[in-house]
Structure 1
């Protein structure tokens, strides 16, 4: 417990002052006694009284007050007294408004409760108060995407996009549109374009509190705070004359996503035409033929295009391509789908598409059809906008021009800002947008050849463009190659929803027709054959060493043994002694079949930490299909009262022989609290038991990459056409870019890969929180970033590389604040630090000629 001794300064006042000092002194003593008794709530109340009566004690009791607050907050959290918890933090921040530790702790509680935007705000404040506060920096970096999404940097660095919008706005203002409303203003750049073009009145609305405050700072820095009225509102909530005095003549917006409609542009423009905009030009003529001020929208219209493609990378994330994984049979009765297929059965709103930058997708893609027009939309036509949502689905068909595997329909659009200016998001264009991807799932066959016809259904429901029921007919006989089972055909939403509902509550006795919806990364993991083979071999070694019976020695742990399964071997002789089972715990994130693979390796009791009932039901079916005794597979969370203590002993008081930890996030970062989990795991291992992975090596290399710079920070005023935005939005940049694929990252390697750090889960004495690494330059250039990845060593013989072509993991990169010019033969010294789950890499020494 921190030192709580504090002395009250004497004051030359009379009896009232003496009484105050006495009350404060007694309260301090009471607080200390309560802390000794671990009565944190009462101690906290006493400290509040002390600090309100004697503010001069703030410095001396600060550390103890923080300790008391955090302990009391933990109790309130465990009792689900959420409002009381937040009240305590608000009281504490009134007393210590600039305390970074309290701000950070408040953010952690908010984040755990799902208030991510609010949490990010507190983390950001803590970092501003103390830029060297490691805990706050790590927290802020992890949630910065919720404060300012990363596409803001890419978009603001897109000079072509900015210039095209500027010219279209200038045209509109010069033609008479003098009052402007910017919907979803972001940093305020379009509003400033309008003011620069000569608009007399400019209004801008932004729903995000952080982006609204950022826009206020940007507008003020560009001396336009008196000329642009910023509203912290959703456009649907704007009222006349409460928020703006009258209808405007121009609405500008870029609330479009890769699928065009996903950010609600249709709904917001319908409301704008009905309540905020002047009448359109065609309706605004006087009887004498003259034209009044009229309303218009930028962008004026859009045309959506599509194309069927073959793409291995999309396929491996949305279709399970194997019927056998490391010796485990995946029965035909289970069908796996990604959320883009099964959005109708989800309780949450799930986009019917994913997004990809097709120009950088690993392995590339092959067009199977010519680009075709999906639809057009006129944003200046209210009736057309209103009819979109109610429009019945329509069918499209397109001839196949080149044979291949039908993996997806990809979509992009041309945004027509006005008659002269347009922006294309085509994969062949250099653009800040990605493309929308509709993976093809649920067909009985995916092979097409030239002359076949791809068919699909299109609709615009729930503010999304949906392309569904994708199938094809063959050229020979017009045969429709779609899934023959209607309950699983793409787009048959009612049937799929019913199937999912029944799966959640009941399990069919025959196990037929089970639908399993997995995240795309979970499907990629199932398709990662080297991953499962590696785990099978490493687990087999551990089990053999712990129970070297004849049965275990004969098992097929590496794919080359006798293949005799223990359950089969046990039936050969009634006199064989059945060894006690060994306990295996898999606490991997998400769906994992490693416990079933372990079950094939001998007398084990494998525990899975899979949470979803749907996934548990499917694992049971797979277990039955592989003829496991029922007791082989258990779901560990059903044995626990508190999921937070997942790492504990089995109830039988046995110890674990193997504990499988998820060490790396699919984003490319280290999982949070993984070293703490490893410390607990080591205490729960059977003698000779192992944690998988046993240790992790972090590798990195120096690169020059303009792309990483553009994606991480706004590069001065040039791309924003002279407007001063960079210093404000760059406050929210983070040093680490995640979800990278090094195989397609536009970069020039300036060094060979180097080992940066070792994280040992079995032997913590081999770990160090900081290390210096010398890296030699092999190519001249500018070091702008340090990509890094991992080698996960299950043991000395079996390891996994998170950057290989089969990996379901992505990679990450540290982006330098300032590029470093280097020459061949130079040597840079990198300081690599590991704090909790955050890796920081800094260049400690700049250019230094290498001495041979």
Structure 2
């Protein structure tokens, strides 16, 4: 930087606080915390399943975090840089520094949160803190048991007046934080929770990957955070197991009670069940391994290859099961083998709340190839529920509003080039106002879809609904979610807060002004496995 150059940002400060963040929303995307899944993997397994992302942190809008959060320490200044001093840019900041902070509230620290304060001049500043209401999210550094040296410690617990030592490191391209020590009141020293890192590479790698120096595990299996969230959804996996149990009974024994419940009849029960797993991660293997059917009959699984590593991990310690079990990848499967498929299992909804690309189309294509008279699907029925909302935050995140934010420069014309926008949201924490009662847009019987001889677009047609406005405001978006019914009769609702799903928001182009009692026409479109909506008010 030239000595005559004056940067806009004069000083940059980073603040950090140890936060007790709801583990369901933070830790479930970092490693496997579900006890039922850990049991399925078998305690004798020497591997840990953890997030495969390369960054040592994620980001969250803490003001909208489901389940809430609470601070366990007061915020403190970590780094302060004066960009008016050119030597700051050349200085090496990679030396570890240790901060000792008092615990102000008892609890379980799940993550370290950091944010920035930018001083534009002596009077003006910007902050990305949780309370600032800015467009920035906060950096979240999860604390995982694999980082701790104490083999008996699976979670951290702190009490008021404890002291926590946090190691901070500033790299040219990233920052990292980890807990080093926890000292109880009256205790001068405590056992280190994490061994010192010797290099920058080891320090970064240890954040999300288990190393020999850091862990009691021998190796790690890297899995994407959205798949980890599914593995930690015990409710979802349990319903999946129940559905697999019901459908295998139908396919092998002709269970009359289940046949009546599903209004189907299997004429020739088989001793072999062939399952097509379209989940993309082999979640059917968890259900099969927790059932006794592997000891009674031959089960064939056809799965997508991107879940192979996880499948290998599930079955590597169960050699005795392999004699009852035959599996192959979808890519290497012959068409004649697909004709034997009797059960199709899918995971049609993304963790972010939208319909997975080609999810229903794949079920339709592979289901119609089966020679079985009755191909059963999991889920068996998919409903789409929605609500009209007013939310300035959704609109603000999808288009330019006015010229004031852009200092008088009119750039609103770029909005005409905006494509259909769908955002992932947590409806219970999203700042919004509902302007209609919830309504159902689609109800798709997937078990009937695989029997349909017409194109899928004929089976799933557009729908027009007439609604009544329940409040005054401007409809700016349609928030929708899914209800999945399994063969066991249990419904999974992606709006529930105790599962791994978010909801999806479709932001409409022009707001619709309504008053209580106004009639609203909503047209729901299903095109290319995606949903879109048009909202009009009756004149």
TM-score normalised by L of structure 1: 0.54
SS at match of 2:129: coil
Q: Is the 8 A contact 1:318 1:439 kept in 2?
A: yes
Q: Is the 8 A contact 1:304 1:373 kept in 2?
A: yes
Q: Is the 8 A contact 2:469 2:517 kept in 1?
A: yes
After TM superposition, the structure 1 = structure 2 runs for residues 98-113 of structure 1, keeping only pairs within 5 Å, are: none
Residue aligning to 2:33? 321
Is residue 2:297 matched to residue 1:584?
no
Q: Residue 660 of structure 1 is aligned with which of 345, 362, 370?
A: 345
Is residue 2:364 matched to residue 1:679?
yes
Residue aligning to 1:16? none
Shift of 1:667: 2.5
After TM superposition, the structure 1 = structure 2 runs for residues 298-697 of structure 1, keeping only pairs within 5 Å, are: 298-312=8-22, 313-325=25-37, 328=40, 330-331=42-43, 333-339=46-52, 350-388=54-92, 391-441=94-144, 442=146, 443=148, 444=153, 445-468=155-178, 472-475=182-185, 477=187, 478-480=189-191, 482=193, 513-548=218-253, 580-589=271-280, 591-599=281-289, 600-602=291-293, 603=297, 604-611=299-306, 614-621=309-316, 624=318, 629-632=321-324, 636-637=328-329, 640-641=331-332, 648-650=335-337, 655-685=340-370, 686-697=372-383
Q: Is the 8 A contact 1:328 1:597 kept in 2?
A: no
Work out the CA distance in 2 between the residues paired with 1:549 and 1:695: 21
Relative distance call for 1:497 and 1:612 in structure 2 (3 A) is farther
Is residue 2:416 matched to residue 1:721?
no
Work out the CA distance in 2 between the residues paired with 1:658 and 1:827: 43
Moved more, 817-826 or 326-335: 326-335
Work out the CA distance in 2 between the residues paired with 1:648 and 1:601: 29
Relative distance call for 1:828 and 1:539 in structure 2 (3 A) is same
Is residue 2:480 matched to residue 1:808?
no
Work out the CA distance in 2 between the residues paired with 1:797 and 1:387: 63
Work out the CA distance in 2 between the residues paired with 1:364 and 1:498: 27
Work out the CA distance in 2 between the residues paired with 1:747 and 1:636: 47
Work out the CA distance in 2 between the residues paired with 1:439 and 1:634: 38
Residue aligning to 1:20? none
Relative distance call for 1:620 and 1:838 in structure 2 (3 A) is same
Residue aligning to 1:751? 436
Shift of 1:525: 1.2
Work out the CA distance in 2 between the residues paired with 1:467 and 1:618: 30
Q: Residue 834 of structure 1 is aligned with which of 522, 526, 530?
A: 526
After TM superposition, the structure 1 = structure 2 runs for residues 86-125 of structure 1, keeping only pairs within 5 Å, are: none
Work out the CA distance in 2 between the residues paired with 1:701 and 1:338: 34
Work out the CA distance in 1 between the residues paired with 2:217 and 2:57: 28
Structure number having the greater strand percentage: 2
Shift of 1:330: 4.8
Residue aligning to 1:760? 445
Relative distance call for 1:580 and 1:514 in structure 2 (3 A) is farther
SS at match of 2:286: helix
Shift of 1:805: 0.8
Q: Is the 8 A contact 1:399 1:453 kept in 2?
A: yes
Moved more, 664-673 or 421-430: 664-673
Work out the CA distance in 1 between the residues paired with 2:311 and 2:92: 40
TM-score normalised by L of structure 2: 0.83
Shift of 1:336: 3.0
Residue aligning to 2:264? none
Relative distance call for 1:640 and 1:297 in structure 2 (3 A) is same
SS at match of 2:249: helix
Q: Is the 8 A contact 1:821 1:847 kept in 2?
A: no
Relative distance call for 1:677 and 1:770 in structure 2 (3 A) is same
Q: Is the 8 A contact 1:738 1:810 kept in 2?
A: no
SS at match of 2:248: helix
SS at match of 1:679: helix
Q: Residue 779 of structure 1 is aligned with which of 471, 482, 486?
A: 471
Relative distance call for 1:773 and 1:494 in structure 2 (3 A) is closer
Relative distance call for 1:485 and 1:417 in structure 2 (3 A) is closer
SS at match of 1:542: helix
Work out the CA distance in 2 between the residues paired with 1:811 and 1:513: 38
Work out the CA distance in 2 between the residues paired with 1:818 and 1:497: 43
Work out the CA distance in 2 between the residues paired with 1:672 and 1:395: 46
Work out the CA distance in 2 between the residues paired with 1:494 and 1:779: 52
Residue aligning to 1:792? 484
Q: Is the 8 A contact 1:308 1:367 kept in 2?
A: yes
Q: Is the 8 A contact 2:243 2:488 kept in 1?
A: no
Deviations for 1:278-308, whole angstroms, at most 9, x for unmatched residues?
32xxxxxxxxxxxxxx221111111100011
Residue aligning to 2:398? 712
Work out the CA distance in 1 between the residues paired with 2:207 and 2:64: 33
Q: Is the 8 A contact 1:306 1:374 kept in 2?
A: yes
Work out the CA distance in 1 between the residues paired with 2:136 and 2:205: 33
Shift of 1:334: 3.4
Moved more, 628-637 or 805-814: 628-637
Shift of 1:739: 1.6
Relative distance call for 1:749 and 1:471 in structure 2 (3 A) is farther
Relative distance call for 1:305 and 1:751 in structure 2 (3 A) is same
CA RMSD of aligned residues (A): 3.2
SS at match of 2:253: coil
SS at match of 1:588: coil
Count matched residues: 498
Work out the CA distance in 2 between the residues paired with 1:353 and 1:495: 12
Q: Is the 8 A contact 2:111 2:141 kept in 1?
A: yes
Q: Is the 8 A contact 1:781 1:821 kept in 2?
A: yes
Shift of 1:616: 4.0
Shift of 1:428: 0.9
Q: Is the 8 A contact 1:699 1:757 kept in 2?
A: yes
Shift of 1:679: 2.0
Work out the CA distance in 2 between the residues paired with 1:419 and 1:671: 50
Deviations for 1:750-791, whole angstroms, at most 9, x for unmatched residues?
111100113333323583321111222222222121101111
Work out the CA distance in 2 between the residues paired with 1:513 and 1:318: 18
Relative distance call for 1:648 and 1:777 in structure 2 (3 A) is farther
SS at match of 1:409: strand
Q: Is the 8 A contact 2:34 2:233 kept in 1?
A: no
Shift of 1:547: 1.4
**Structure 2: stretches of 5+ with no match in the other structure:** 258-269, 453-457
Residue aligning to 1:245? none
